[in-house]
């Protein structure tokens, strides 16, 4: 079929993106689903900071690529070997796979599945197929999702069925922002009631960590950002205190608020200085959870002697360190029962023509989650 999609041909174009137009909105061809694939009509797709990093060229991807890794839609066709989904199901897209037989899948860590890591680097679906092209030229898939398009053919492991009562423009955010932010608290850190946490970076992912920390009955939940404008929403969603990242007294202030340091510091901004501060404000024996992502190959620095002598732990957390097929429906239930008010993170909606401009808005910190409606606003 022929459809509209946002195609990126070159990474690293200059800002403002409204002028350099890294995403070209074009008619592309999508091949129908093979026996083990599913056709989804994409109704909503979230714009994540990781999309911005790809556009900036911080992490190399095969181009040309149809962008987007956060999305939700309706199943329109299933391959004959697919028995877990049917036409009409509402689904959230998650850039994971579950081959079931690699070492990571055997250890129940589908987020780290070797087949999805390979297909992600190759711009293919996890089964090795390519479904996208333009005028005969092959186009790459983005994380097996490519949600900045009107339709996608993907694999059932990438799709999680959700209650159709939840609006698709809200549930789209669950595929990355929610599973990542909430999962970093529930799965990676496993915050216990009464513990103290700090979250660096109060964007779409960081605010989910804030909400999950509140749901975990954390005591102090401290939010840190370079933009004071992020503090009001952060407080409404659970932050007990907010501190500017540029405050020269940030380390003693957070230590004082927490009687010596936080149990868990979540670095969700992708900034190197934030990581050093995160290590500094963590108490003896506490953990620093690295969620934010900078450029591939970036080296970070922190006080290593303190890390050793105070037995701190640095832990990476990718897509929430959990099992999305298990966790995501639970988080949707938390949303439906008012415990995880994810709808508060939606800043607005956009059509394809505003996608590049929205990259600039996210870059400047003006918005939290902007939602692309590929079939029009």
Ligand X SMILES: NC(=O)c1ccc[n+]([C@@H]2O[C@H](COP(=O)([O-])OP(=O)(O)OC[C@H]3O[C@@H](n4cnc5c(N)ncnc54)[C@H](O)[C@@H]3O)[C@@H](O)[C@H]2O)c1
Shortest Å, Cβ 235 to ligand X: 14
- Copy the structure tokens of residue 133: 């092209």
Residue with smaller CB distance to Zn ion, 187 or 258? 187
Q: Which residue is nearest to ligand X (CB)?
A: 203
Binding residue for ligand X (CB under 6 A) from 188, 205, 222, 361? 205
Shortest Å, Cβ 239 to ligand X: 13
Shortest Å, Cβ 119 to Zn ion: 11
5 lies in the site for Zn ion, by CB under 5 A = no
50 lies in the site for Zn ion, by CB under 5 A = yes
- Copy the structure tokens of residue 302: 């922190």
CB neighbour burial string for 71-88, b if at least 16 within 10 angstroms, e if fewer: bbbbbbbbbeebeebeee
Eight-class DSSP state of 36 = T
Please identify, among the stretches 140-148, 152-160, 185-193, 285-293, the one whose residues bind ligand X according to the rule CB under 6 A.
285-293
Say which entry of ligand X, Zn ion, none residue 105 contacts (CB below 5 to 8 A, set by partner kind): Zn ion
Q: How deeply is 122 buried, as exposed, middle or buried, from its count of CB atoms within 10 A (0-12, 13-18, 19+)?
A: middle
Say which entry of Zn ion, ligand X, none residue 293 contacts (CB below 5 to 8 A, set by partner kind): ligand X
Q: Identify whether the C-beta of residue 33 lies closer than 8 Å to the C-beta of residue 39.
A: yes
176 lies in the site for ligand X, by CB under 6 A = yes
Binding residue for ligand X (CB under 6 A) from 19, 101, 227, 304? 227
Cis geometry, peptide bond prior to residue 105 (ω within 30 degrees of 0): no
Q: Identify whether the C-beta of residue 99 lies closer than 8 Å to the C-beta of residue 114.
A: yes
319 lies in the site for ligand X, by CB under 6 A = yes
Shortest Å, Cβ 261 to ligand X: 18
One character per residue 357-376, x = contact with ligand X (rule: CB under 6 A): -----x--x--x--------
206 lies in the site for ligand X, by CB under 6 A = yes
Shortest Å, Cβ 115 to Zn ion: 5
Q: Identify whether the C-beta of residue 357 lies closer than 8 Å to the C-beta of residue 220.
A: no
Binding residue for ligand X (CB under 6 A) from 203, 223, 322, 374? 203
Say which entry of ligand X, Zn ion, none residue 226 contacts (CB below 5 to 8 A, set by partner kind): ligand X
CB neighbour burial string for 340-364, b if at least 16 within 10 angstroms, e if fewer: bebeebbbeebebebbbebbbbbbe
Q: Which of residues 248-277 bind ligand X (CB under 6 A)?
A: 268-271, 273-274
Shortest Å, Cβ 286 to Zn ion: 26
Distances (CA, A) of 92 to 22, 86, 164, 206: 26, 14, 11, 20
Say which entry of ligand X, Zn ion, none residue 99 contacts (CB below 5 to 8 A, set by partner kind): Zn ion
Strand ranges (DSSP E) for 184-230? 197-200, 221-225
- The closest of 163, 197, 2, 27 to 89, measured between CA atoms, is 163
Cis geometry, peptide bond prior to residue 64 (ω within 30 degrees of 0): yes
Shortest Å, Cβ 135 to ligand X: 32
d(CA 182, CA 211): 7
Eight-class DSSP state of 189 = I
Please identify, among the stretches 91-99, 158-166, 304-312, 331-339, the one whose residues bind Zn ion according to the rule CB under 5 A.
91-99
113 lies in the site for Zn ion, by CB under 5 A = yes
Q: List alpha helices for 216-364, DSSP H.
A: 231-237, 250-257, 272-280, 304-309, 324-336, 355-363
359 lies in the site for Zn ion, by CB under 5 A = no
Binding residue for Zn ion (CB under 5 A) from 42, 48, 239, 280? 48
Q: Which chain residues interact with ligand X by CB under 6 A?
A: 48-50, 53, 176, 180, 200-206, 224-227, 230, 245, 268-271, 273-274, 291-293, 317-319, 362, 365, 368
Q: Which chain residues interact with Zn ion by CB under 5 A?
A: 48, 50, 99, 102, 105, 113, 176
């Amino acid at each position: 079929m022929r459809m509209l999609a946002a195609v990126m041909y070159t990474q690293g174009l200059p800002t403002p993106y409204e002028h350099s137009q890294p995403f070209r909105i074009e008619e592309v061809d999508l091949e129908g689903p093979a026996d083990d694939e599913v056709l989804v009509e994409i109704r909503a797709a979230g714009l994540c900071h990781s999309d911005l990093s790809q556009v900036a060229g911080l992490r190399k991807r095969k181009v040309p690529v149809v962008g987007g890794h956060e999305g939700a839609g309706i199943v329109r066709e299933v391959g004959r070997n697919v028995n877990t989904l049917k036409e009409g199901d509402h689904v959230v897209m998650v850039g994971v796979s579950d081959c079931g037989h690699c070492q990571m899948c055997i250890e129940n860590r589908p987020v780290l599945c070797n087949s999805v890591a390979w297909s992600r680097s190759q711009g293919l679906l996890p089964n090795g197929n390519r479904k996208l092209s333009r005028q005969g030229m092959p186009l790459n898939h983005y994380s097996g999702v490519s949600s900045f398009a009107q339709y996608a053919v993907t694999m059932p492991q990438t799709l999680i069925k959700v209650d159709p009562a939840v609006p698709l423009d809200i549930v789209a955010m669950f595929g990355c922002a929610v599973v990542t932010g909430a999962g970093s608290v529930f799965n990676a850190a496993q915050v216990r009631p009464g513990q103290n946490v700090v979250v660096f970076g109060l964007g779409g992912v960081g605010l989910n960590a804030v909400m999950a920390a509140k749901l975990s009955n954390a005591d102090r939940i401290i939010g840190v950002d370079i933009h004071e404008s992020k503090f009001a929403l952060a407080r409404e969603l659970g932050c007990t205190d907010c501190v500017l990242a540029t405050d020269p007294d940030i380390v003693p202030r957070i230590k004082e608020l927490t009687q010596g340091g936080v149990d868990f510091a979540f670095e969700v901004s992708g900034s190197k200085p934030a990581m050093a501060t995160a290590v500094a404000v963590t108490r003896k024996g506490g953990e620093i959870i690295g969620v934010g992502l900078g450029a591939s190959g970036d080296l970070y620095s922190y006080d290593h002697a303190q890390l050793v002598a105070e037995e701190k732990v640095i832990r990476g957390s990718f897509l929430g360190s959990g099992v999305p097929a298990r966790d995501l429906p639970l988080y949707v239930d938390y949303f439906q029962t008012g415990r995880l008010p994810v709808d508060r993170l939606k800043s607005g909606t956009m059509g394809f023509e505003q996608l590049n401009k929205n990259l600039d808005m996210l870059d400047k910190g003006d918005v939290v989650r902007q939602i692309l409606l590929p079939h029009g606003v």
